[in-house]
Amino acid sequence: MKAAYFLVFFFLFSSFSSFSSALTDAEASFIARRQLLHFHAGHDLRGDHEYEVEVNLKFPHSRLRRAYVALQAWKKAIYSDPIKTTENWVGANVCAYTGVFCAPALDDPQLEVVAGIDINHADIAGYLPVELGMLSDIAVFHINTNRFCGIIPKSFARLTLLHELDVSNNRFVGSFPEVVLQIPNLKYLDLRFNDFEGKLPPELFNKELDALFLNNNRFTSTIPDTLGNSPISVLVVANNHLEGCIPNSIGKMVNNLNEAIFSHNKFAGCLPPEIGYLSNVTVFDVSSNTLSGLLSKTFKGLEKVEELNIAHNMLTGFVPKSLCKLPSLGNFTFSYNYFNGEDQECVPPSRKDTLFDDTSNCLPNRPKQKSAKQCQVVVNKPVDCGRAKCGGRPAPSKPSSPAPKEEPPKQQPPKEEPPKQQPPQEETPTLEPQPPKPELSPEPW
């Protein structure tokens, strides 16, 4: 009986999911295998001359010819193109292809070259062939909200002018795509809503990035201590399985960090007092982790913070006036913790234009609080943050060689429209359970 129900549910669910995504797991698996076969030569280009395939078309110059070869290889690596984005990817005029943008070459303004790819929201299924490394003039590569599978080929390291790489909301898998670390001029890196897993490499935070989106993947490591070296203004790592401390080095990001979102991970220990140095931060969210201990007095240094979310943790102690009176504060959520006191200034509705949420704490005389019994367990076991592994005194730095800061790029990347910092739109998958993922291991079929 139960089994029958399960089967019915399974069929409903699977037919619904294949209807909504138009790509079955078998197809996804097929594509991943094709890509792996295709990549037998070390996932990289084997020397450009091998790709000087016979093309009976005339091109104004060889750079457009190479772009043609790359784009045709990509078209072959596409298995489903429901809204026919690549239908007109035919013939020598690559600048007229949908989603392909040409501009004068940086080193030779007489030449029109392929400077950008933007096929966001095209719902295309396929993979990224190594030949894309031949698009050496591109500054922008945007393929968000498609169904690209597999990995990012090593040949992307050849894209020396690439400034923005947005592969968000696709079906990429595997460990962190280390190749992005070798793209010298990359400023905007968006990997969110994929199935990347494993560790974040420490070198990531030594890169001269401006925005980094890693949210909604399966990353499992700690955040490397190199974090503080990063010049990023926006960091989003929400909805992964990251653990350990929020590094003390975050305090070094005082001149650049504007938004930091750590929510829905497994970060633990005390919040480092150095967070209070971040006088330029406007959005700070560490909600839904297992953070404990008291709020540091230093946090009153968050002078520009507008949205502050520390909800759904195990924080204790008193929520001070200095925090609730911060001048730019618009929304401070500290619900679902174990605070047992708050300043009168923090009790909603104490400020006209500021939202406070103190639900489900251990606050006397406030509605919707935890029971005395629930509170007792945590409140009676205070954490000494001064001695804690996380948030305490910074550990003496280990002799492990800190990676040197990269030299500033010599070549100026072209000015493009400012990177969008909005999360992908409505159609972005949420936290709902997802259908099983394609298997990469070869199976009989």
- Interface residues with ligand NAG (CB under 6 A)? 254-255, 279-280, 309, 331, 333, 355
Query: What own/partner pairs with CB < 8 Å and gap ≥ 24 does 342-349 have?
Result: 342/318, 342/366, 343/318, 343/319, 345/321, 346/319, 346/321
Measured from the CB of residue 425, what is the shortest distance to ligand NAG in angstroms?
A: 18
The residue (of 75 and 325) whose beta carbon lies closer to ligand NAG is 325
- Cβ contact 27:127 at 8 Å: no
* Residue 44 amino acid letter: D
Q: Which two tokens stand for residue 63?
A: 């750079």
The residue (of 111 and 254) whose beta carbon lies closer to ligand NAG is 254
Measured from the CB of residue 194, what is the shortest distance to ligand NAG in angstroms?
A: 24
The residue (of 160 and 331) whose beta carbon lies closer to ligand NAG is 331
Measured from the CB of residue 338, what is the shortest distance to ligand NAG in angstroms?
A: 18
The residue (of 200 and 278) whose beta carbon lies closer to ligand NAG is 278
Beta bridge partners of 309: 285, 333
Measured from the CB of residue 283, what is the shortest distance to ligand NAG in angstroms?
A: 9
SS3 content of the chain, % helix, strand, coil (to 5): 25, 20, 55
Measured from the CB of residue 245, what is the shortest distance to ligand NAG in angstroms?
A: 22
The residue (of 157 and 283) whose beta carbon lies closer to ligand NAG is 283
Is 190 exposed, middle or buried (CB count within 10 Å of its CB: 0-12, 13-18, 19+)?
A: buried
Gyration radius from the chain CA atoms: 25
Measured from the CB of residue 79, what is the shortest distance to ligand NAG in angstroms?
A: 39
- Separation CA 177–CA 190 (nearest Å): 12
Reduced to 3 states, what is the DSSP secondary structure of residue 80?
strand
The residue (of 57 and 355) whose beta carbon lies closer to ligand NAG is 355
